[in-house]
Amino acid sequence: MIIRPIIMAAAMAWALGVLGPSLDGITLDDHSDEVEQAKNIEDAQRAAQVRKRFEDAAQHLCGPQSSWREISNGVIECKARRGLPSTTLTFKE
C-alpha cells in the first residue's frame, strides 16, 4: 500500500527532472496581456475624465443657458442668444 505513493512520487520527481529544463522559458503566471489591457482601460477612463472637466469648464464659462462648440483643440465659441456676438475662449493648460 505505501509502495504505490512512493513510486508515483519518484516518477513525478523524475519527470520534473527530465522535463524541467525545457519548461524554463514558459511562465504560467504571465499576466502581461491583462496588465496592458488594464493600463489601456485606465488611460481611457483618464481621458474621459479630462474631457468631462473640459466640457464642464466650457459650460461654466459660457453660462448655464448658453450653448458652445469647440472650434479647435482648446478653443471654444460661446453662442449668444438673440443675435448678440459670440465669444471665443482659449483654454491653456
Q: How far is Cα 41 from Cα 36, in angstroms, rounded to an integer?
A: 9
Chain segment 12-71, per-residue pLDDT in tens: 888 877 777 666 665 566 677 888 899 999 999 999 999 999 999 888 888 888 888 888
The pLDDT assigned to 48 comes to 97
Query: Which positions ≥6 away from 76 have C-beta within 8 Å?
Result: 58, 61, 62, 68, 69, 70, 88, 89, 91
Q: How far is Cα 26 from Cα 84, in angstroms, rounded to an integer?
A: 69
Chain segment 52-68, per-residue pLDDT in tens: 999 998 888 888 888 88
Domain ranges of the chain: 45-93
